[in-house]
Structure 1
């Protein structure tokens, strides 16, 4: 039976039914393929569609197979687990390619006759489609545009970064820049072609004419149609072609992964099985979005999920140094530098007050916040002036501090701040939340990440967890605090990656600390020599 799905005939209720029917058809096909046609009507009655089947846990599986013989229950369990495991390894949903093709067709059809004469045809968009189809970000942009017929700022920035990365990897010239800009205009008619033109400066990185508010990193877009919370993934500075499974896979990883997909307790079992599929998960983390990761490994969302992040980080960076172990010496070394470099009266007062603070967490947080005055942000973003004209503005020190630690007087205020953040069409990267009247005396410390709140025992532990989330989930640092986090990564943790970008102030501070450390060592050696003589 043909369905009338024209815009005027489809109400929200009908849309839901059409969508559900399509998903049920896939489930019905699977059940027939597995040899369980008698379950089709039950699945329809209970609205067990393809999404529900993907995350069906053992207790629900028993409910729908209770009338089957034990032998057939065993067979159904085997078919379901194998299928769930196969889906866990796929980057996209079943119909992603169809969505992409539909987007291309719709994009071309919507163009006026004049546009068709003056732009490239679908067959001539090969270069741009190749870029977009090669990664999750690009396919998500196509899906988003097929629904909204327009790109929002986050999608536009992500598209720009994908093009820029490709342009640079091909050692691009003016001809390639013109080609890509034309193809953008063809696929996304609402975009300004000239804003996507690229050029190289001193034969190094491409300079992008359009302003990119996430200029210090490459974007990562989630697949949500309304991008209220986005975790931006990092892209390497140089193009690489790693093997599909750089870490290999442990024996028995499949069974442990399936257990972790459906179970978040008892916690001792979770942690034990967690380390037994470490390599398998490391491969998955490198290639998938945060949304997909948390769906496959829901234990991350539990109160003790940060312990799993610890394990994943240690596996990924076995030679990383420890913030908690390194802090005592770092605190001694950094205080003289803060006193020497920060001369504003209010900052001088803050530094002097450090010795009087009795709350260790407040003191540690204060030192971290003072560091932002040395590790000044360099990224820019677009804003509107009083006349409504778009202007380029630089992130401030306060922006950098705010993206690192947010403060709320009580839990109600915490929720209000989180609601405000969700309403903004910009990425919500991991950050630290202090609950209390001031930064100097917090009553509760937590790390916020994708609606997860990890409660922490100290400021140092919160910073440690927050930092490790960026690296385990392969996320970008927030642009306002990019310089700060780069320093924390390279100096405190002594970790260097293919994603690193040079930051002058971070490099200068590292050199000063290393110079002071060398001077201190030489002084001690001289003292020992004097004592011997």
Structure 2
């Protein structure tokens, strides 16, 4: 029990500082008092949490705990989740009491066990009732009340909704099938007008990938932790796959027309000639299908050796030709939509960004302080804060041991835009990034270099450099390269690229889209 006490008194509030800062002074007092009661009040973690509003002044101590034992870390995570849930239940019960006139939310002072143990309205999916499940939890009323007032639910309500449903499923020892996850996602859509793909995304027909979505991942992650520490005897279930696939739906071989003698001659001509440029562009269009088939079969470095014209200083024109053939009419959508997007995204940034470093960038954006960074770069860098990386990466430690790391927001930012201050720093910067990527078992993908020494931008890939005077054309070209050359998005910033793909260019592919991207696109439509 003493070990559990140490875990629970670790710096939980500082870890949740970004959420805590959004509370009013009254809610902060309730939060701190609840935290003190949970950590200092009793060794019994199922103790009631009543009579806690009279202690608003609490000194939140910081203790560190160094343990490499996996099971110990899993217990720590479970306890922190329980603390967060119980604090939220207490605070939200006050909010729901104030906002729902005449309603009486469940009392926060009721005995709350370490893992929620509410009575079940039904264990069968035939009568799955979201409202009944939410009303079993004090915080559930907050979700219902918010939807009644705003006709939508926000991030806090989504988190509460997921917590209530997963706790109810685990409490009833429900082994949930994919069809049942789909059913629950549909019920959420019917009740709260939410996109079902936020909660469950089934795999494509014939695919060996696992499903995804917030509900699916939350359920199996929590279930796995319970099983690992012996909490419940669940059967093994598939987790969330982090596998990625090629973004570009390239042509199948049977779709390529018979290459007549003229096309074959043009292909050979393009591989050895660089001019006249008008003839290059004409033959590049004529050979599009043949080149796409060839690109599908080659590794990335081989593509550039076979088609050396891409190394030409005007290679951007060839990338644009291929993109226009692949997606007719979508060539200029990023540039055309950018100004309206800038106006719409600022309120979203102000509402959702909590990361300290990104908050400093947000202050520059709000104050229109663009002395160091142009406005467009600030916006792209801030996108990483609301579309953070979600996939863990395999890496090799200095002891040659394999480990899994979750990329940070900074990792995500630097996998899309890298700053170089001096011309002599260019090659060392690229080498450092390439080395780090190789250690993670990946190849360096196209990215943008912000050259401060001459105020230009380079789209860089495999030692090829396309130079631009402004950031937005560089971003536009970098995006198109992924499709023209059939490349994967970098794992670190995949969500940001997928947002650009779906929001600006409205391109649909088989690439799995995270719920964060779906939520952001929906919020910008309103």
* Unaligned segments of structure 2, at least 5 residues: 1-202, 211-234
Corresponding position of 2:445: 429
- Determine the C-alpha separation between the residues in 1 that align with 2:268 and 2:399: 57
Corresponding position of 1:259: 269
Helix, strand or coil at the partner of 1:502: coil
Corresponding position of 1:398: 410
1:296-307 aligned within 5 A: 296-307=306-317
Q: Alpha carbon RMSD of aligned pairs, Å? A: 3.4
Aligned match for 1:217, one of 226, 233, 244: 244
Aligned match for 2:322, one of 312, 316, 319: 312
- Determine the C-alpha separation between the residues in 1 that align with 2:357 and 2:208: 47
Change (3 A) 1:389 1:244: same
Preserved contact between residue 388 and residue 409 of structure 2 (Cα < 8 Å): yes
User: How far has the Cα of 1:416 moved from its partner?
Assistant: 1.3
Alpha-carbon displacement from aligned partner over 1:415-453 (angstroms, at most 9, x marks no partner) = 11223344453411110001117xxxx712001011101
Corresponding position of 1:275: 285
Number of paired residues?
294
Aligned match for 1:244, one of 254, 258, 261: 254
Change (3 A) 1:389 1:251: closer
Change (3 A) 1:287 1:328: same
Preserved contact between residue 395 and residue 405 of structure 2 (Cα < 8 Å): yes
User: How far has the Cα of 1:291 moved from its partner?
Assistant: 2.7
- Determine the C-alpha separation between the residues in 1 that align with 2:322 and 2:251: 23
Flag the structure with more relative contact order, 1 or 2, with Cα contacts below 8 A and sequence separation at least 6: 1
Change (3 A) 1:476 1:384: closer
Change (3 A) 1:360 1:465: farther
Aligned match for 1:461, one of 473, 477, 502: 473
Preserved contact between residue 459 and residue 466 of structure 2 (Cα < 8 Å): yes
Aligned match for 1:504, one of 515, 520, 523: 515
- Determine the C-alpha separation between the residues in 1 that align with 2:372 and 2:280: 33
1:65-84 aligned within 5 A: none
1:117-136 aligned within 5 A: none
Corresponding position of 1:341: 352
- Determine the C-alpha separation between the residues in 1 that align with 2:397 and 2:292: 45
User: How far has the Cα of 1:169 moved from its partner?
Assistant: 4.8
Change (3 A) 1:357 1:262: same
User: How far has the Cα of 1:269 moved from its partner?
Assistant: 2.3
1:474-513 aligned within 5 A: 474-498=486-510, 500-513=511-524
Corresponding position of 2:375: 363
Preserved contact between residue 253 and residue 293 of structure 2 (Cα < 8 Å): no
* Unaligned segments of structure 1, at least 5 residues: 1-163, 172-198, 208-214, 219-232, 516-533
- Determine the C-alpha separation between the residues in 1 that align with 2:457 and 2:433: 19
Preserved contact between residue 295 and residue 485 of structure 2 (Cα < 8 Å): yes
User: How far has the Cα of 1:477 moved from its partner?
Assistant: 0.6
Matched, 1:352 2:368: no
Preserved contact between residue 260 and residue 299 of structure 1 (Cα < 8 Å): yes
Change (3 A) 1:357 1:250: farther
